[in-house]
Amino acid sequence: MMHLLKIEWLKLKNYRTFWILSALYLISIFGINYIVYRIQENIYNAKQAKGMAEMVMGSRPYFFPTVWQMTSYVSSFLLFLPGLLMIISITNEYSYKTHRQNIIDGWSRKDFISVKLVLAVIVALISMLMVFITALFFGYSSGSSFDYEKIYYLGYFFIQTLSYTMVALLFSILFKRGALAIGVFFLYSLVLENLIAKPISHYFNDAGRFFPLESTDTLIPLPVFVNVQRQMSAAPNYTLFLIVAIVYLILYAILAVKKFESDDL
């Protein structure tokens, strides 16, 4: 696999669009958390609201240990970007027909698709690392002392990011054309799934939460207004959602591999 990854590296190393988007994405993880952090500081430091904020919203979300959950939650709004990175790295091959050339030159079809699967994992790992650094930074900036109690939220964030990159990978393999895959991916992840999942949740006892991306979104709830949230709906069974998310991940991988191995390229 190292051999395959080195070749993938040669492909990506000089692919400028990929790196510009990656850099913007990583900066944005920091940036979006900075914005929310500033809002937190404004609310909690306001003189007239002294003590009120804590009462209604709970303790500061960027304090350790909730900072792990808060940073993961806030960063998850950017997850269409790692999806986009996956899509361009795959559909590019289709538009240059290099996916054919790789096979012709002597890769097996499994080589090609498995290195892309590993790329999806790597993108998710790097995202998680960036969230880790960002959480550390704002945890300390808030003036709290280090606590790793809720650090498992980083693990949830990894699973969630992986779900997005894997759905993006699957859409790229299914649709082959960049614009089409991007369009469908954005519409599905930002609009369509919510459009379907929310009414189903409403009428069928939260069943909408089991939709592919929604199931991982559920893993990381907003850590403020916790009391209010509890009154509105029962806390989800995290173990169950983790299992559901992993089952989906396996399904994406199997579908993508089967499709790529049986298609006319």
Partner 1 sequence: MSILTVDNIHKNYGSIQALNGVSFKVPEKSVFGILGPNGSGKTTLLGIILNVLKANSGTYQLFDEAPTKKHRQQIGTLLETPNFYHYLSAVQNLRIAARIKGRDEKDIDRVLEIVDLSKRKHSKFSTYSLGMKQRLAVASCLLGDPSVLMFDEPTNGLDPVGIAETRELIKRLNKEGKTIIMASHLLDEVEKVCTHVAVLLKGTLVTHGHVNEILINEDIVELSGCNTDQLLSILQNFPGSSAVRKNEHYVEMMFPSGEATLDHINQHCFEKGIVLNHLRLRRKSLEAKFFELTKGN
For position 104 contacting partner 1 by CB under 8 A, the verdict is yes
For position 149 contacting partner 1 by CB under 8 A, the verdict is no
For position 263 contacting partner 1 by CB under 8 A, the verdict is yes
For position 100 contacting partner 1 by CB under 8 A, the verdict is yes
Hey, what's the torsion of the CAs at 191, 200, 248, 154, to 10 degrees?
70
Stretch that binds partner 1, among 45-53, 103-111, 153-161, 235-243 (CB under 8 A): 103-111
Which of residues 24 and 104 has its CB atom nearest to partner 1 in the complex?
104
Quote helix, strand, coil % in the chain, to nearest 5.
Answer: 80, 0, 20
- The secondary structure of 75-112 as a DSSP string is HGGGTHHHHHHHHHHHHHHHHHTHHHHHHHHT--HHHH
The pairs formed by 1-10 with CB atoms below 8 angstroms and a separation of 24 or more are 1/114, 1/115, 1/118, 4/107, 4/111, 4/114, 4/115, 4/118, 5/115, 5/118, 7/115, 8/115, 8/118, 8/119
* Shortest Å, Cβ 217 to partner 1: 35
| Contact letters for partner 1, residues 7-26 (x by CB under 8 A) | x--xx--xxx----------
For position 32 contacting partner 1 by CB under 8 A, the verdict is no
Which of residues 88 and 131 has its CB atom nearest to partner 1 in the complex?
88
Hey, what's the torsion of the CAs at 250, 213, 126, 238, to 10 degrees?
-80
* Shortest Å, Cβ 25 to partner 1: 20
For position 177 contacting partner 1 by CB under 8 A, the verdict is no
Site residues for partner 1, window 70-99 (CB under 8 A)? Answer: 92, 96-98
- The secondary structure of 18-31 as a DSSP string is HHHHHHHHHHHHHH
For position 2 contacting partner 1 by CB under 8 A, the verdict is no
Among 80, 107, 186, 225, binds partner 1 (CB under 8 A): 107
- Binding residues (CB under 8 A) for partner 1: these are 3, 6-7, 10-11, 14-16, 92, 96-98, 100-109, 111, 262-265
